[in-house]
């Protein structure tokens, strides 16, 4: 008998339910093939529920979610709800409360996928961003003074603790070692302007680097990283950065790997409950049309299995996704795949 895992499923808003359905289809096929059990429990969280009941996410739900092996999430964000309410009340609350201090985002161009970068091939675009996921500008420190008056002041502070920075950097070094590619870790910061926060990051980075003599280190400012990610993506193996910069550069990363339709991420607490999600949003304009690409959600499930320790099943899903992407899909964009959302899920599940 294989292992058994309890998975909480949050389909969320917009196209979340459609892509999660395909992810679950593939996960079920993989678990049947590889002999382990996934026990899914659905949680109704998101904009629709908030509009219906006024509740965002209760403490009771949060407590329950701590008891799962992992959380599988679709998308959070609703056009009728003021930006920030659902994001802070569900997504960021989960990341922070469950101390998912790493946001792991691979940027991989699969064979057969079009990248907007001329002359770049799969061997040129294959790196991973390790984004700090528990502090920085996202910590919510700051406030207003005299709001709505001509003398208004708004302050938004970036919180960087030695402990938070160090655990993220250590994770990145360990990850880079295990990945075993170019064995190069690049710190992405802004030491020329953010001279407090990134002074701490830089000092910690080089101190920890002393314990990893097999890993080459590099540094680049965030603006330059944006430039190099377009011009010379082959320079990168693993990039480590803070929460805000990580958010920004991974959208750029998603585009060079073929778009939001394929980009997956993991919110990871190496000692606790992790959460896996496609990194694109809820795509309200495509909702219910069965035309969005579920590959990002499928790859989020793939990453979940990898981290749960089901390596062979994870590898099989990745291989199946690569095959469908290369041999079947006309494009990774919504409405242009040549197949519907559910047909793409069927194709991948059929290869398990």
Residues of the shown chain interacting with ligand IPM in the complex, contacts defined by CB under 6 A: 77, 87, 91-92, 247, 279
Decide which of Mn ion, ligand IPM, none touches 7; Cβ closer than 5 to 8 Å per partner kind. none
Is position 22 an interface residue for Mn ion (rule: CB under 5 A)?
Answer: no
> Smallest gap, in angstroms, from Cβ of residue 254 to Mn ion?
9
User: Is position 277 an interface residue for Mn ion (rule: CB under 5 A)?
Assistant: no
Pick between residue 87 and residue 234 the one whose CB is nearest to ligand IPM.
87
Residue length of the chain:
352
Q: Which is nearer to Mn ion, 204 or 293 (CB)?
A: 293
Q: Is 301 exposed, middle or buried (0-12, 13-18, 19+ CB in 10 A)?
A: buried
135 interacts with Mn ion by CB under 5 A: no
Shortest spacing between CB 243 and ligand IPM, in angstroms: 7
Nearer to Mn ion, 242 or 247 (CB): 247
Closer residue to Mn ion (CB): 112 or 281: 281
Cβ nearer to Mn ion, comparing 157 with 251: 251
- Given ligand IPM, Mn ion, none, residue 135, with its beta carbon under 5 to 8 Å by kind, binds none
Residue 247 within binding range of Mn ion, rule CB under 5 A: yes
* 132 counts as binding Mn ion under rule CB under 5 A: no
C-alpha to C-alpha distance for 61 and 247, rounded to whole angstroms: 27
Minimal distance, residue 131 CB to ligand IPM, in Å: 8
Q: What is the nearest approach in angstroms of Mn ion to the Cβ of residue 281?
A: 8
State the residues that interact with Mn ion by CB under 5 A. Answer: 247
């Amino acid at each position: 008998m294989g292992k058994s895992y309890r998975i909480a499923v949050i389909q969320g808003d917009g196209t979340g339910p459609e892509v999660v359905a395909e992810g679950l289809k593939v996960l079920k096929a993989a678990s049947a093939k590889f002999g382990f059990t996934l026990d899914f429990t659905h949680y109704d969280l998101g904009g629709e529920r908030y509009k219906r009941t006024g509740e965002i996410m209760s403490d009771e739900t949060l407590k329950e979610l701590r008891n799962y092996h992992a959380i599988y999430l679709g998308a959070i964000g609703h056009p009728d709800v003021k930006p920030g309410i659902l994001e802070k009340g569900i997504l960021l609350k989960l990341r922070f409360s469950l101390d998912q201090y790493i946001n792991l985002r691979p940027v991989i161009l699969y064979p057969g996928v079009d990248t907007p970068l001329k002359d770049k091939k799969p061997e040129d675009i294959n790196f991973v961003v390790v984004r700090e996921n528990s502090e920085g500008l996202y910590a919510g420190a700051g406030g207003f003074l005299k709001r709505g008056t001509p003398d208004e002041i708004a302050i938004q502070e970036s919180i960087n603790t030695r402990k938070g920075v160090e655990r993220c950097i250590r994770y990145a070094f360990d990850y880079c070692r295990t990945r075993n590619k170019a064995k190069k870790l690049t710190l992405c910061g802004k030491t020329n302007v953010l001279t407090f926060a990134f002074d701490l990051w830089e000092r910690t980075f080089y101190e920890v680097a002393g314990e990893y003599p097999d890993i080459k280190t590099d540094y680049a400012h965030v603006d330059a990283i944006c430039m190099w990610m377009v011009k010379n993506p082959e320079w990168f193996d693993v990039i480590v950065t803070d929460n805000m910069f990580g958010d920004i550069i991974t959208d750029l990363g998603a585009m060079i790997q073929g778009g939001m339709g394929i980009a997956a991420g993991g919110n990871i607490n190496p000692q606790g409950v992790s959460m896996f999600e496609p990194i694109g949003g809820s795509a309200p304009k495509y909702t219910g049309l069965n035309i969005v690409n579920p590959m990002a959600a499928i790859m989020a499930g793939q990453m979940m299995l990898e981290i749960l320790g089901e390596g062979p099943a994870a590898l099989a899903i990745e291989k199946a996704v690569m095959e469908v992407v290369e041999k079947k899909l006309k494009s990774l964009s919504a409405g242009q795949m040549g197949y519907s959302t559910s047909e793409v899920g069927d194709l991948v599940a059929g290869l398990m």
